[in-house]
Amino acid sequence: MLSKKMQKALCDQVTAEHYSAYLYLGMSAYFNSIDLPGFANWMYIQAQEELVHGIAIYHQIHERNGEVTLNTIEAPPKKWKSPVDVFENTCSHEQKVTASINNLVNLAIEEKDHATNNFLQWYVKEQVEEEATAYAILQKLKMMKDAPGGIFMMDKELGARVFTMPSIMAASAD
């Protein structure tokens, strides 16, 4: 059984993951608007992954006989200055997500809720990857600043990304 405090924090994370999806969907729209379909594809897949992150928590709350309360999802920024600006914001957003996952783990430990702590470890690991991937793309973009052809090569590379169901979904759908 989830404590009320833990339940509320997990519900807030469901909303936060959906905001991430919305943020990345907005970034995907931006890349489409500047004719970078590969970048748009990468962000679109990122948005899909975030939805799954949120839905997996939703399932977990039910699995623990909890009640889900959904909150308002705020609108993401509508304008971006450049691809670098987008990925700088992606990096800082993922750092914020990491902090909120860490806070959830801290709460689970405080509440002696080992099941939630165990569940959240998937997210702890995932955040390492999320931060590293966004940072690697940002660094590449910064290096390409003076090579106009570079961004188009990168667009091709990011266009090859395909969606694969995050493993947390398989675990939470059991």
Hey, which residues between 7 and 36 contact ligand FEO (CB under 6 A)?
17, 20
Nearest to 45 by CA among 81, 20, 16, 15: 20
Residue 50 in contact with ligand FEO, rule: CB under 6 A: yes
The least CB distance from residue 115 to ligand FEO, in Å, is: 20
By beta-carbon distance, which residue lies closest to ligand FEO?
A: 53
The helix (run of H) or strand (run of E) holding residue 173 is none
The least CB distance from residue 108 to ligand FEO, in Å, is: 17
Determine the length of the chain.
174
Nearer to ligand FEO, 66 or 166 (CB): 166
Distances (CA, A) of 15 to 9, 53, 62, 103, 146: 10, 10, 16, 15, 39
Hey, which residues between 62 and 101 contact ligand FEO (CB under 6 A)?
94, 97
What stretches of 34-80 show up as alpha helix (H) in DSSP?
37-63
- Which residues have a Cβ under 8 Å from the Cβ of 24 and sit 6 or more positions away? 43, 44, 46, 47, 50, 90
Residue 113 in contact with ligand FEO, rule: CB under 6 A: no
Site string for ligand FEO, 128-147 (x = CB under 6 A): --x-----------------
The least CB distance from residue 86 to ligand FEO, in Å, is: 14
Q: List residues near ligand FEO by CB under 6 A.
A: 17, 20, 50, 53, 94, 97, 130
